[in-house]
Amino acid sequence: MEELDLLKKDWKRNENKFPRVSEQEIYAMLHKNSTSVVKWIFLISIFEFAFFLALTLLLNDNTGTTKMESYLNDYTMIAITIIDYGIMVYFFCQFYINYKKITTTDKVKNLMSSILKTRKSVSNYIFVKISFIVILLIAMFILYFNNEPEMISTRHIAEEKGKVAMLYLVYFAAVTISVAVFAGMVWLFYRLIYGLLLKRLRKNYNELKKIDF
């Protein structure tokens, strides 16, 4: 006898032996909070958008940026601001559209793929945003190097001593390291949060893909 058919026999026999949940208990459940993965992904994603929005607003206001602004003309500043908010709005719309597509009445595989897509749009946002910040940072350091009076005088001293190459090397090494550390930390942070959240989902999704090659 086939193993599973034996199990089926027992499955049917015990169908009605579960402890009954009363209507009152069901009512109570409806008002409890869901702990679903999607809910967490949604909350964290909203937090991410908020965080980067706050960062944009804060950066606009600090003395370092004001100094940088003085090296740039107005048009460049406006362009940077437009690109910055443009990125945010574009990705937020994408995120929202994908999120709306998540429905529990979909096929299992489709549901998984829409969750992963939603997540993907946010991680793309983070990636673009980080790249944008890194590019701005590098531009800032270059501008600082070329325009800041203090920096210029240091360069003159170095030139007199014949150590310009050394100065360039140290300065750019410092810039590279600080940018890399910043980007690395953000990356690690995301790996940790979503690694934990999406591990099981990814595993199951790959399993389904394997079946349906």
CA gap 84, 77 in Å, rounded: 11
Q: Going residue by residue from 32 to 61, which x/- string records binding to other proteins, judged by CB under 8 A?
A: xxxxxxx-x---------------------
**Binder among 112, 122, 126, 133 for other proteins (CB under 8 A):** 112
Judged by CB under 8 A, does residue 30 bind other proteins? Answer: yes
Binding piece for other proteins, criterion CB under 8 A, among 27-35, 51-59, 136-144, 176-184: 27-35
Judged by CB under 8 A, does residue 193 bind other proteins? Answer: no
CA gap 182, 124 in Å, rounded: 17
**Binder among 26, 57, 75, 165 for other proteins (CB under 8 A):** 26
- Main-chain dihedrals φ then ψ at residue 2, nearest 5 degrees: -60, 130
If the CB atoms of residues 63 and 105 are measured against other proteins, the closer one turns out to be: 105
Binding piece for other proteins, criterion CB under 8 A, among 31-39, 49-57, 161-169, 172-180: 31-39
**Binder among 62, 93, 109, 141 for other proteins (CB under 8 A):** 109
**Binder among 61, 74, 150, 211 for other proteins (CB under 8 A):** 211
Instruction: Count residues binding other proteins (CB under 8 A).
Output: 47
Please answer whether residues 199 and 40 qualify as being in contact, where contact means their C-beta atoms are separated by less than 8 angstroms.
Answer: no
Whole-number Cα distances in Å, 179 to 29, 89, 134, 162, 173: 49, 25, 7, 28, 10
Judged by CB under 8 A, does residue 207 bind other proteins? Answer: yes
Please answer whether residues 172 and 76 qualify as being in contact, where contact means their C-beta atoms are separated by less than 8 angstroms.
Answer: no
DSSP per residue, 66-107: HHHHHHS-HHHHHHHHHHHHHHHHHHHHHHHHHHHH--TTS-
